[in-house]
Structure 1
Amino acid sequence: MTTLTWLGHAAFRLDTPAGHRVYIDPWLNGNPSCPPSELEPERADAVLVTHGHDDHLGDAAEIAQAFACPLIAQVELRGLLAEKVGEDMSQALNKGGGKDLLDMRVVLTHANHSSSYNGSYAGESCGYVIELAGGPTLYVAGDTNVFSDMQLIGRIYLPDVAILPIGDHFTMGPREAAVAAELIGAPRVVASHYATFPLLTGTPDALRELLPTGVELLAPAPGETLEL
């Protein structure tokens, strides 16, 4: 069984069919939407980071240190994190590149956004495709606007689930996310990156009205676990 738990904002915990636990953009401490019970992970087998902004990098390095697990990130960002988690080029991907990891294959995709870390250039913002052995394929868009090459991501990887930001202001809002869902073609969409701050005005209800026919919108509460 594959489960996905929303930890608020853009943070997720993915539990794979083989029992591995992966944190995606684990901004836990300081995240006003993260449930208190989720602030201290019990275990982790890998961490995936889409870009260097604090609300995505979050506790990634600390989790990787605590559980001696891989931290996968775009090559420039991964280099900047080497002082905390060691230099390991096998964990430093770039767009279009993939890596076999645990019971999955992860591929770095394009995202239309920016990236920095402690005021330094941190490469480019990215998304992930996660192909699970014996489970679904997930597309994690990361922070992004809609862009036409999302159609290529859908064509190549055929994701079953697309995790899309909908909050507006810093990322696409519901109108753009609905077009992204159409381009990607995944039958299920998980809403992300909304309701954390007043600036993020996009809502699942606004997106639901705009989604293509037949696309299911999943909007868990923070801390809620979905069976995929």
Structure 2
Amino acid sequence: MKVTFFSHSTCMLEIHDKCLLIDPFFSGNPIFKNRNFVKLIQKIDYILLTHAHYDHVCDVEFFTHKFINAVVISNYEISNYFDKKGIKTYGINYGSFISFPFGKLKYVWAAHSSVFNDGTYGGNPGGFLLHTDEGNLYISGDTSVMYEMNLIPHFGKLKLSILPIGGRYTMDVEEAILAANFLKSEKILGVHYNTFEDIQIDKEQAKKRFFEKGKELILLDKGKTIYV
């Protein structure tokens, strides 16, 4: 499984021949000062949306017009919102695993909020638990640390967890360490930090704190990739 980090919470997962874009945030992102981000994305089969906030959904329409067969997967309310715009969607909610060509996907709880910029209700925020023949991945979405995270490893061992670490609106570094313990996850990709002034962190100190707790915190530069 190939994981590419673009910035904020935006990542691309490549599983066999399928490309999954997570929470696309480019055009309104201060890290991308021009539209050269378009060159970074060559293929999209699915777009996974954790919740409706602008910094997670603002480029859905752009990419679904560019890649007309891409399918948006999110909760019922978000899927319905984009379905009304003529975008292909697959609505889910908290419940069972659902089989897709890339593996099995489960929408799981997140402690946050969810509303579109125009005030439309975005349903319950969530994350994704992804089981594939290349390993299992947890994408928490924007969230506080929750005791419900203890349930995740009961479904299978995780190769990687993608967790926010910027604080204020989500977990900070210390809370993400606690979350990693709940998840029994040894390898964490940190997201949702340093995009804006109010979610700045010391990257080296953050990696040190995870290392002291027996965990590996991976912090990738824009456009960099890891294989898990």
Q: Same fold (TM over 0.5)?
A: yes
- Kindly provide the amino acid, as one letter, of the partner of residue 227 in structure 1: Y
Residue of structure 1 in register with 2:50 after alignment:
50
CA distance in 2, matches of 1:145, 1:203: 20
Q: Distance in 2 between matches of 1:206 and 1:147?
A: 24
How big is each residue's C-alpha offset from its partner over 1:85-144, in whole Å with a ceiling of 9 and x where there is no partner? 4475xx1000133322222111101000000012121101100011122x1211001000
Task: Supply the distance in 1 between the matched residues of 2:130 and 2:36 (Cα, whole angstroms).
Answer: 26
Kindly report which structure 2 residues correspond to 1:129-208, keeping only aligned pairs within 5 A, or say none: 129-133=129-133, 135-208=134-207
- Post-superposition offset of 1:37: 4.4
TM-score (norm 1): 0.91
TM-score by length of 2: 0.91
1:99 is aligned to 98
CA 1:187–1:50: 2 relative to 1, 3 Å: same
SS at match of 1:84: coil
CA drift at 1:161: 0.4
Report the Cα distance in structure 2 between the residues aligned to 1:61 and 1:126, rounded to whole angstroms.
Answer: 21
> Cα–Cα, structure 1 residues 198 and 58, in superposed 2: closer, same or farther, change >3 Å?
same
Structure 1 residues 84 and 203, CA gap change in structure 2 (3 angstroms): farther
Shift of 1:65: 3.4
Corresponding pairs, count: 223
| Alignment map for 1:98-117 (pairs within 5 Å) | 98-117=97-116
Segment of structure 1 superposing worse, 97-106 or 169-178: 97-106
Say which of 17, 25, 28 aligns to 1:27: 25
Matched, 1:78 2:79: yes
Q: 8 Å contact 2:26–2:37 — kept in the other structure?
A: yes
Q: After superposition, what is the alpha-carbon deviation per residue over 1:50-109, rounded to whole angstroms, capped at 9, x for unaligned?
A: 000010012123323332121001111111111224475xx1000133322222111101
Confirm or deny: 8 A CA contact 1:3 1:225 kept in the other structure: yes
Relative distance call for 1:204 and 1:178 in structure 2 (3 A) is farther
Counterpart CA distance in 2 for 1:132 and 1:175 is 29
Distance in 2 of aligned mates of 1:55 and 1:204: 21
Q: CA RMSD in A?
A: 1.8
